[in-house]
Amino acid sequence: MGLISRGLEEAGIPSVLVSVMKPLSGPSRPPRQLIRKLNIGATVGRPGDAATQLETLRRMVALLSSADGPGAMDEGT
Amino acid sequence: MNDRSALPAWQPKFSEWVEAAKPFMAEGKAKQAFGIYPWFSGNGDPFTRLSKPASETRFGLITTGGYSIEGEQEPFSPFPSLDATPPRINTIPLDVDRTKLRIDHAGYDHRFAEEDINCNLPLDRLQEMQEAGEIGSIAPNTQVVMGLQPNVTPLIEALIPELVARFKSDSVEAALLVPS
C-alpha cells in the first residue's frame, strides 16, 4: 500500500494510509500514515463499532489536510 | 526521480530472493521466506498537498480486502504471485449488491468483514461523513487490489498507473488507502 500511496502522490493525487503494522508499512515511506492499534482484517474498526470506524476515517482525512510534507504520521493510538 | 527508476537496482536482488525463498515457500514457511526479503526502497519522497478543504474534496477508496463480485468478477487468488503478471484490480461500485461480495485473501481473518463490511471497506461510514458535510463526495467506485505483492515490478509498472487512471476517470482528488 505504501508504494501505491507514493505512486498516487507522484501523479498528483494526495493520499493517506491507515496501518496497524507500522514495521511493515514504514519501510516503503508512505507520504502520510495513520497508525492505529486495531486488528488485521478490521483496520478501520471492529464490527459494529461505528464510533471507532468514524474516528479512523476522520483522522485519515485530518492528516490529509494537515500534512505539510512527506512522511507525515499520526501515531496517536 | 521516482520509484520506477529504482527498479533496475532492485530486480536482481528480487530474483536472488525468489530462488532462496522457494524452499521455504514449498514448506509453507512464509515467515522465514520474508525474513530474507529485499524490501524495495524507492527514490525520493513524493508529496502532493490537498489543495482544498476536505468538505469540498472527492475521495476515492482503495482496499486490499480481497473483494470480488460473485458471478461478475474473477475471485482473487488468495496467495501472492511471484511472477511478473500485472496484478488485477476489482472495481466495486458504491451501490453494489453486498450479498454478492466474496472475500478471497489468505492474509487475514474474514470474520470481521463478513460481520460488518465497514471493517475494511467503510462505505457506510464514508456516506455518513458525506451526508454530514465532512467530506465533499465519494468516488462511485472502490478499487480493490491484493496486498503483500513481493514482485513490485508489475505493481509499479502496471498496477499503479492503472489505479491512477481509474481514479482520474472518477475525478478523485484524494485517496484513502485501507489495507487488511
Same domain, B31 and B60: no
Residues on chain B touching A22 (C-beta within 8 angstroms): none
Supply the mean pLDDT for chain A. 94
Asked if residue A10 has pLDDT above 90, the reply is yes
Chain A residues inside the 8 Å CB shell of B3: 3, 6-7, 10
Overall number of domains in chain B: 2
Q: Which of A72, A48, A64 lies closest to B52 in space, CA to CA?
A: A64
Check whether residue B75 and residue B155 sit in a common domain.
Answer: yes
Nearest chain B residue (CA) to A23: B39
- ipTM, two decimals, is 0.97
Is the domain of B95 the same as that of B8?
no
CA dist B43 → A22, B36, B78, B168 (Å): 20, 22, 30, 24
Quick one: B28 and B73 in the same domain?
Answer: no
Q: Which residue has the higher pLDDT, B143 or B25?
A: B143
Q: Which segment, A72-76, B8-12, B100-104, is predicted with the most confidence on average?
A: B8-12
Tell me if B175 sits within 8 A of B167, measured CB to CB: yes
Do B60 and B139 have their domain in common?
yes
Report how far Cα B21 is from the mean position of its chain's Cα atoms.
24
Angle between helices B123-131 and A50-66 (to 10 degrees): 70
Does residue B90 fall inside a structural domain? yes
pLDDT at A40 over 70: yes
Element holding B15 (H helix, E strand): helix B7-26
pLDDT digit string, tens, across residues B120-144: 999 999 999 999 999 999 999 999 9
B140: left (phi over 0), alpha (psi -120 to 50) or beta: alpha
Closest Cα to residue B109, out of A38, A74, A60? A38
What are the grid coordinates assigned to A60, written together? 485519515
Angle at CA of residue A73, ends A71 and A74, nearest 5°: 175
What pLDDT is attached to residue B1? Answer: 56
Enter the DSSP assignment of A39: B
Same domain? For B134 and B69 the reply is yes
Give me the percent of chain A exceeding a pLDDT of 90.
86
Contact between A1 and B109 using a beta-carbon 8 Å cutoff: no
Residue of B2, B126, B177 with shortest CB distance to A5: B177
| Nearest residue in chain A measured CA to CA from B172 | A13
* pTM of the complete model: 0.95
Q: State yes or no: pLDDT of B106 exceeds 90.
A: no
B78-97 residue pLDDT tens: 777 788 888 899 999 999 99
Q: Which domain holds residue B130?
A: 54-178
